Amino acid sequence: MPSIRVLQTFLSAARLGSFAAAGQDVGLTAAAVGLQVRALEAELGLSLFDRSGRAVVLNTDGRRLVEPMKEIVDRYQALNSRPAGGELGGTVVMGALVSALMGAFADALWTLKRQHPALDVRLFAGQSADFAARVERGELDAAVVTQPPVRLSMSLAWTPLYSEPMVLIVPRRPHFTLPAAPLQMLTSCPFMRFDRSTWTGHLVGEVLTQCRAQVNEGMELNSVEAIVALVRQGFGVSVVPQLANLQWASDKALRVVPLPRVKVQRHVGLLERRQHSRERFTAAIKAYFGASQAAARSLHRG
């Protein structure tokens, strides 16, 4: 069954007569609009548009379905309307890094949920690069991801929320000889590398470049949590983001070792389409982190 978002995309294309214009209206690329429309046509077993160059015109079947689809969308929006008192309500579908859910972002969600009981947030955990495509296609309202190392599509916007320094973590009870100097730890100990094809993996590469370190590759994993668990058990060392809200300084199984002259940070932010239907929710997330940072600066000055 086609989603409400697909029906909204169809109605925009029908009204504007162009996939490109519809994309600007709903916050997708023209290609993504075309894919959604073709999926809808396949689902219905009907062709809905006459296509000619860049223009699209409703055919007989398309015109016949505009009103029924508009009625479905209008009824859904009525169900999903704003609760009394300006509260946030309805369902938001989001992606998030698992590491973000372990730290600062989890606090933000918990706070918003307490303030807005009618709000239903559905979360999918995964990798930043995967979420970017899903947000652009309209499958997700937004996602909490690492700052992209590549240029984003014009239909997407990324807003920084908080930053985490990239640090060296080592076990307190290693199954190998652990040198005293940080750079020797990197070059001689088994190194647990974060998947180099991911956005966080790019940051690990930047750290190693700044250190001019050739590491002794042990394993390559795509989970900060799995890497931390292996380091705690004494199987290697690693460079990872120091996750916000986790008290590694008091961890009895691992310790954080400063790397000289390394200034790399992982910036975590909110990825969303430039125009979408849940902008009040994403604005509330950004406001939460803005207020938190302002409070932290005030405490620091005090």
Q: For the chain, list the domains and their CATH numbers.
A: 4-79 (1.10.10.10), 88-162+267-301 (3.40.190.10), 163-266 (3.40.190.10)
Question: How far apart are the C-alpha atoms of 177 and 18, rounded to whole Å?
Answer: 65
- Nearest of 198, 245, 241, 242 to residue 220 by alpha carbon: 198
- Cβ-based neighbours of 91, under 8 Å, separated by 6 or more: 80, 120, 121, 122
- Cβ-based neighbours of 24, under 8 Å, separated by 6 or more: 155, 275
The predicted-structure confidence for 137-186, as pLDDT tens digits, reads as follows: 888 899 999 998 888 888 899 999 989 999 999 999 999 999 999 999 99
pLDDT for the residue 186: 93
Question: Which H or E element spans position 223?
Answer: none
* Residue 20 contacts residue 79 (beta carbons within 8 Å): no
* Residue 240 contacts residue 167 (beta carbons within 8 Å): yes
Below-50 pLDDT ranges, the chain: 81, 298-300, 302
- Cβ-based neighbours of 43, under 8 Å, separated by 6 or more: 1, 2
pTM over 0.85: no
Residue 114 phi/psi, 5° resolution? Answer: -70, -35
The predicted-structure confidence for 94-118, as pLDDT tens digits, reads as follows: 999 888 877 678 888 888 888 888 8
pLDDT for the residue 299: 43
Pairing of strands 90-96, 142-146: parallel
Question: How far apart are the C-alpha atoms of 272 and 169, rounded to whole Å?
Answer: 32
